[in-house]
């Protein structure tokens, strides 16, 4: 029996969407609709400091404006990460019981970044720190000192393979190439890698379509899900849009949905994104539904797209 396909949109409300995010959302929508799947919309408002009400309010409207619909999810609170803490807590305890979690007292900045997905230029792993090797007595003394630690996941010295639907085989030795990652910050906020894995597992997601910058997170997520007793989804990453050098391209690359919605019509933008990623040869306005009839991952470029 074929399992039903479940895809997802999982944006973070830490800013307005821009062209790169919109392309990822469009590809996630096309992929799921082409497979006759069910599409979820999860609000990744994990980090209370970065998630702003105005961005949360804008997200759904911006997706609808572009013509992208979903079957369940936001605004149902069960699909907001900020409301799912008990599930992350449970997974954290499970990992702790397997001796896969240890406290870390290293630099604060790194812990703060951990609640967001690691996009280019945002360091995530630290290549190993002394906290992983503290003796029990040292660890207990530090815990007693009252300085709150972040919590890290002890990643195995094991190569995990992911067959990406678009980029092919991607293998990564978790301990050596990714490094132990923070799964809970010192302020108690759970980190991206844990939350996204628990959510994809609990929501029964079978297809993760997102930007290629997160391909390097896929082996960790696959391993985490399997370690927690779940089945990992198929991963399929799409190309990134990069801002080129010229003034015009810098401007286009950084335009948010706020500005795009004033300057262009949704069908024109869909046509532009479709042309940029290789789905259509000549740029012309069209709806996501119309694009569906010509959608195929074979046509989608693997290279970064300079604007």
Q: Which residues contact ligand GLU (rule: CB under 6 A)? A: 10-12, 44, 117, 196, 210, 214
Please state, in angstroms and rounded to a whole number, the distance separating the CA atoms of residues 270 and 194.
Answer: 33
Q: How far is the CB of 59 from ligand GLU (least distance, A)?
A: 10
Q: What is the DSSP string of 81-123?
A: GGG-HHHHHHHHHHHHHTT-EEEE---HHHHHHTTS---TT--
Q: How far is the CB of 11 from ligand GLU (least distance, A)?
A: 5
Please state, in angstroms and rounded to a whole number, the distance separating the CA atoms of residues 248 and 30.
Answer: 29
Q: How far is the CB of 295 from ligand GLU (least distance, A)?
A: 20
- Whether residue 239 contacts residue 293, with contact meaning beta carbons closer than 8 Å, is answered with no
Please state, in angstroms and rounded to a whole number, the distance separating the CA atoms of residues 210 and 236.
Answer: 7
- Whether residue 149 contacts residue 186, with contact meaning beta carbons closer than 8 Å, is answered with yes
Classified as helix, coil or strand, 294 is coil
Nearer to ligand GLU, 10 or 60 (CB): 10
Please state, in angstroms and rounded to a whole number, the distance separating the CA atoms of residues 190 and 81.
Answer: 10
- Whether residue 206 contacts residue 2, with contact meaning beta carbons closer than 8 Å, is answered with no
Nearer to ligand GLU, 196 or 274 (CB): 196
Nearer to ligand GLU, 14 or 271 (CB): 14
**Alpha-carbon distance values, 206 to 90, 236, 237 (Å):** 22, 11, 14
Nearer to ligand GLU, 106 or 240 (CB): 240
Q: How far is the CB of 51 from ligand GLU (least distance, A)?
A: 10
Q: How far is the CB of 141 from ligand GLU (least distance, A)?
A: 37
Please state, in angstroms and rounded to a whole number, the distance separating the CA atoms of residues 111 and 196.
Answer: 17
Q: How far is the CB of 135 from ligand GLU (least distance, A)?
A: 36
Nearer to ligand GLU, 27 or 273 (CB): 27
Q: How far is the CB of 247 from ligand GLU (least distance, A)?
A: 27
Nearer to ligand GLU, 210 or 222 (CB): 210
Nearer to ligand GLU, 12 or 67 (CB): 12
């Amino acid at each position: 029996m074929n399992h039903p396909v479940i895809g997802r949109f999982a944006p973070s409300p830490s800013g307005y969407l821009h062209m790169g995010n919109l392309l990822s959302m469009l590809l996630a929508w096309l992929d799921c609709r082409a497979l006759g799947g069910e599409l979820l919309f999860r609000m990744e408002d994990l980090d209370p400091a970065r998630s702003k009400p105005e961005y949360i309010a804008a997200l759904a409207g911006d997706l609808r404006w572009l013509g992208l619909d979903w079957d369940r999810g936001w605004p149902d609170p069960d699909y907001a990460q900020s409301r799912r803490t008990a599930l992350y807590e449970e997974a954290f305890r499970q990992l702790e019981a397997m001796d896969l979690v240890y406290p870390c007292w290293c630099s604060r900045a790194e812990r703060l970044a951990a609640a967001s997905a690691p996009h280019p230029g945002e360091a995530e792993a630290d290549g190993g720190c002394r906290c992983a090797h503290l003796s029990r007595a040292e660890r207990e003394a530090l815990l007693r000192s009252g300085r709150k630690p972040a919590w890290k996941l002890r990643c195995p010295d094991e190569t995990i393979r992911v067959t990406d639907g678009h980029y092919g085989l991607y293998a990564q030795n978790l301990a050596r190439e990714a490094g132990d990652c923070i799964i809970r910050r010192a302020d108690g906020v759970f980190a991206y890698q844990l939350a996204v894995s628990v959510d994809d597992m609990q929501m029964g997601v079978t297809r993760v379509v997102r930007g290629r910058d997160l391909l390097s997170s896929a082996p960790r997520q696959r391993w985490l899900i399997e370690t927690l007793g779940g089945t990992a989804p198929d991963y399929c990453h799409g190309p990134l849009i990069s801002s080129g050098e010229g003034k015009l391209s810098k401007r286009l690359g950084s335009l948010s949905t706020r500005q795009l919605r004033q300057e262009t019509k949704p069908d024109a933008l869909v046509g532009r994104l479709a042309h940029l990623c290789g789905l259509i040869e000549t740029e012309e306005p069209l709806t996501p539904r119309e694009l569906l009839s010509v959608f195929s991952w074979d046509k989608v470029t693997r290279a970064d797209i300079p604007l």
